[in-house]
Every structure is written in structure tokens, then in C-alpha cells.
């Protein structure tokens, strides 16, 4: 009996030691992997940011932050609170008809769901596609739509859906939808959606094909649930590259074209509205001369023109007179007092410089220069 008891104690002791060694080994390996992982620090920052954003939402809504899993927390790091979106319809010029259509087909069904309770045809679409040339305001429109509709906005970075471990990408893709449903109403915005959901072919990697299939399957779940207010909004300048199955899931399609002369005039006026501008600035001439310029090109044109006046100031005031010293506040006041406004000559120089650059890139048709005389 004594030998049996001794043997039993040895076995128990051995099991305990093996358990402790296994636990220590597991924790050590996990710690080493975390230290070796180059994205570990970014993951911690993302989780902290996600917790802050979700807590802000939880103050006004019944969102259980502790009920979200790790994958949903990673997606929540890209969540933008509606109050943090600074873009409004007033910041977008020349697209009044498109904005009005968005208000009618997307925003109103979200804000006044009770008006459309008797019909499934007039509910907010589960997929919205914005397509057009680069720099024409597609991203601005998506943000302004989320702000005006009062929805949460997930600016989905597609790089977070790719993971080196098998099966992790599918879990992250599923977390996008489960999180959006929990915090609805929500808009999931995918910029350059063609890079992720392009036409499928036999050369696709197995993991990529599985993630696309799962993404579309989960998307179908949103479409069939009429009470769910989650919208997938994508932007692309290559709609022809999108998979036909994706186009079917995005029935609301809006073309954001290059601005015409009238729209360019509105854009330039909006950009220069709060800037110090000389009386000789002729917006009409600029609008007619900037054919082929997108909204972002026009903003860069005005920004470059504003830089010229700063350069002029530095040329004349870079060297202070000997023996003269001034405080930091005095120098700042002098800077603002003597900085001249933007002139038409600045805008002409900026235009001709951008025109030559765009001509060399082949993105601008042949045009007449704006003479400086």
C-alpha cells in the first residue's frame, strides 16, 4: 500500500510539474512572438483607439464594449465618430444634383425610416458605388453622407484584412459586418474598392478567393435583412474592373465626373472663400482655363499660389537688421501683418507650372497658357 501511495504521489507530482512547465513554455513562446511581431505596437495602439471610440458611442447608445471580440476591436480602430467628421455638403461645390440624389435615396430612408415602413423598395440601399476620375471628391462625398445621415463611419483599410496566419483574414472580414450590425446605423467605406473586389479569375490566391466569397456572402446577409441599417459604400476610378457580383450588390451607382467650367468656378470660389485674395483675381478666367483639372488639382493650384506670397515675404524679411531683436509674438504679428494677399499673378504662375507637369504626364489636353502680361 505504501508503495502504491508513493507511486501515486510521484505521478501526481510529475503531472503538476509537466503542467507548470507547459504553461511557462506557452507563455514564454507567446511573449517572444509578441516581441518579435513588428506590428505588435500598432495593434496595441489600434485597440486603445478602438476602446476610446466605442466608449464615446456607448455614452449615448447601448453598445456593450466588453461584448466585442478581438477581431471586432481591430476593425473598430478604423471607426470614426459622426462628430469627428468635419466634411459637410457646404465643403463640396459643383455637385448639387448628385448631392440631392444622395439625400433622397440614402440619407432620408436612414433618418426617417418610419416614412418607408410600408415598402421594401424605398429602403436605403445596402450598397452604394461612387465612381469617376481621381480627385473629384468621391471620398469627401462618402464622409459628408455619413455626417449628414448621422451614421457611424468605418473607413475600412483593406490592409487589415490580410493576415499571415491561415483563416485570420476570414475572421477579420466577418468582424467587419458583425461590428457594423452592433453599432448600426453604419456606413462601411472602402476606398479603391476595385483593388479588393476586382473580377475573380483562376489566378487568384486561394486565401484571397475565400475572403472575397465570404465578404459577398456576409453582404447578402445585410441585403436580406430589411431592418438592418448598414451600407457598404465604395469608391473607384476603375468600375470596369469590379466583379459583376459586386456591381449587383451595389444598386445605387453615382458617377462623379470631372468638373466643367461652371463647376470649376464654384470650386475655386469655395477654396478661396476664406483666403486673403487680391482684387485682381479673376475666377472666371481661371475656371475657363483649367479644363481637365479635378477638384484636388484646383485646390493644389490655389495652395501653390498661396506659397508664392510666403516666398516673397521670406526673400525680403529673411534677414533682420543688425542689433534688432523681437519676441516670438512680435515676429508672428509682423508675419501676418506684412504677408500680402494672393494675386492673379500667383495663380497664373501656379497654373502654368501645374499645366506643364500634367502635360508631361499625359493627363491634360493641349491648352493655351495663361499669359502673364
- Residue, of 301 and 364, whose pLDDT is higher: 301
Q: Name the pLDDT band for 70 (thresholds 50, 70, 90).
A: confident
- Whether the pLDDT of residue 82 is over 90: the answer is no
Which DSSP helix (H) or strand (E) runs through 248? helix 244-249
Please give the residue that has the higher pLDDT: either 157 or 322. Answer: 157
**Cα 78 from Cα 186, distance rounded (Å):** 12
Tell me what pLDDT residue 332 has: 54
DSSP state of 60: T
Q: Give the mean pLDDT of 258-265.
A: 92
Instruction: Inform me whether the pLDDT recorded for 273 exceeds 60.
Output: yes
Residue 262's pLDDT is what?
A: 92
Cα–Cα distance for residue pair 333/336, rounded to 1 Å: 5
What is the mean predicted confidence (pLDDT) over 209-236?
82
**pLDDT score of 268 more than 90:** yes
Average pLDDT over residues 118-142: 85
The per-residue pLDDT for range 281-298, each reduced to its tens digit, is 999 999 998 888 999 999
Give residue 2's pLDDT band: very low, low, confident or very high (50, 70, 90).
Answer: low
**What's the rounded Cα separation, in Å, for the pair 173 and 162?**
9
Share of the chain above pLDDT 70, in %: 77
Q: Which CATH number fits domain 261-319+326-361: 1.10.8.60, 1.20.990.10, 2.60.120.10, 1.10.600.10?
A: 1.10.8.60
- 188: β partners: 154, 232
Look at residue 373 in the predicted model and tell me its pLDDT: 43
Could you give the C-alpha distances from 238 to 209, 212, 302, in angstroms and in order? 20, 18, 28
8-state DSSP, 295? H
Relative to beta strand 152-155, strand 79-80 is antiparallel
Structural domain spans, the chain? 44-255, 261-319+326-361
Output the pTM of the full model.
0.75
pLDDT tens per residue, range 86-111: 888 988 988 899 999 999 888 888 88
Q: Is the pLDDT at 5 greater than 70, yes or no?
A: no
Closest CA to 168 of 70, 234, 79: 70
- Rounded distance between C-alpha atoms, residue 188 and residue 232, angstroms: 5
pLDDT, position 98: 92
- HEC sequence for the chain: CHHHHHHHHHHHHHHHHHHHHHHHHHHHHHHHHHHHCCCHHHHHHHHHHHHHHHHHHHCCCCCCHHHCCHHHHHHHCCEECHHHCCCCHHHCCCCHHHHHHHHHHHHHHHHCHHHHCCCCCCCCCCEEEEECCCCCCHHHHHHHHHHHHCCEEEECCHHHHCCCCCCHHHHHHHHHHHHHHHCCCEEEEEECHHHCCECCCCCCCHHHHHHHHHHHHHHHHHHHCCCCCEEEEEEECCHHHECHHHHHHCCEEEECCCCCHHHHHHHHHHHCCCCCECCCCCHHHHHHHCCCCCHHHHHHHHHHHHHHHHHHHHHHHCCCCCCCCCCHHHHHHHHHHHCCCECHHHHHHHHHHHHHHHHHHCCCCCCCCCCCC
pLDDT of residue 219: 85
The predicted structure's pLDDT at residue 372: 40
Cell numbers at 82, concatenated: 459622426
Are the beta carbons of 106 and 128 closer than 8 angstroms?
Answer: yes
Chain segment 311-370, per-residue pLDDT in tens: 888 887 765 554 454 455 555 555 455 788 999 999 999 998 888 877 666 555 545 455
CATH number of 44-255: 3.40.50.300
pLDDT for res 323: 47
Amino acid at each position: 500500500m505504501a508503495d502504491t501511495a508513493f507511486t501515486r504521489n510521484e505521478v501526481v507530482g510529475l503531472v503538476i510539474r509537466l503542467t507548470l512547465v507547459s504553461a511557462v513554455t506557452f507563455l514564454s513562446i507567446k511573449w517572444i512572438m509578441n516581441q518579435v511581431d513588428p506590428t505588435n505596437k500598432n495593434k496595441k495602439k489600434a485597440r486603445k483607439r478602438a476602446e476610446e471610440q466605442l466608449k464615446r458611442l456607448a455614452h449615448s447608445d447601448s453598445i456593450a464594449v466588453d461584448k466585442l471580440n478581438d477581431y471586432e476591436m481591430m476593425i473598430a480602430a478604423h471607426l470614426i465618430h459622426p462628430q469627428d467628421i468635419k466634411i459637410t455638403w457646404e465643403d463640396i461645390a459643383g455637385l448639387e444634383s448628385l448631392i440631392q440624389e444622395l439625400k433622397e435615396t440614402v440619407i432620408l430612408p436612414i433618418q426617417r425610416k418610419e416614412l418607408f415602413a410600408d415598402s421594401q423598395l424605398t429602403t436605403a440601399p445596402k450598397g452604394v458605388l461612387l465612381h469617376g476620375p481621381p480627385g473629384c471628391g468621391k471620398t469627401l462625398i462618402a464622409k459628408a453622407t455619413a455626417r449628414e445621415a448621422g451614421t457611424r463611419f468605418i473607413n475600412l483599410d483593406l490592409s487589415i484584412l490580410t493576415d499571415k496566419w491561415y483563416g485570420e483574414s476570414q475572421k477579420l472580414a466577418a468582424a467587419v459586418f458583425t461590428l457594423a450590425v452592433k453599432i448600426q446605423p453604419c456606413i462601411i467605406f472602402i476606398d479603391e474598392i476595385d483593388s479588393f473586389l476586382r473580377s475573380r479569375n483562376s489566378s487568384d490566391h486561394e486565401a484571397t478567393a475565400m475572403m472575397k466569397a465570404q465578404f459577398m456572402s456576409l453582404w447578402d446577409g445585410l441585403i436580406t435583412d430589411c431592418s438592418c441599417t448598414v451600407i457598404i459604400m465604395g469608391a473607384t476610378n476603375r468600375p470596369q474592373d469590379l466583379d459583376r457580383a459586386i456591381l449587383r450588390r451595389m444598386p445605387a451607382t453615382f458617377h462623379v465626373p470631372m468638373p466643367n467650367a461652371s463647376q470649376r468656378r464654384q470650386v475655386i470660389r469655395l477654396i478661396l472663400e476664406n483666403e486673403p485674395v487680391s482684387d485682381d483675381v479673376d475666377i472666371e478666367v481661371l475656371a475657363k482655363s483649367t479644363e481637365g483639372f479635378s477638384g484636388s488639382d484646383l485646390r493644389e493650384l490655389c495652395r501653390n499660389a498661396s506659397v508664392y506670397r510666403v516666398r516673397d515675404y521670406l526673400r525680403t524679411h529673411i534677414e533682420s537688421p543688425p542689433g534688432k531683436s523681437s519676441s516670438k509674438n512680435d515676429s508672428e504679428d509682423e508675419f501676418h501683418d506684412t504677408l500680402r494677399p494672393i494675386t492673379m499673378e500667383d495663380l497664373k504662375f501656379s497654373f502654368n507650372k501645374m499645366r506643364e507637369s500634367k502635360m508631361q504626364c499625359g493627363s491634360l489636353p493641349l491648352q493655351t497658357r495663361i499669359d502673364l502680361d
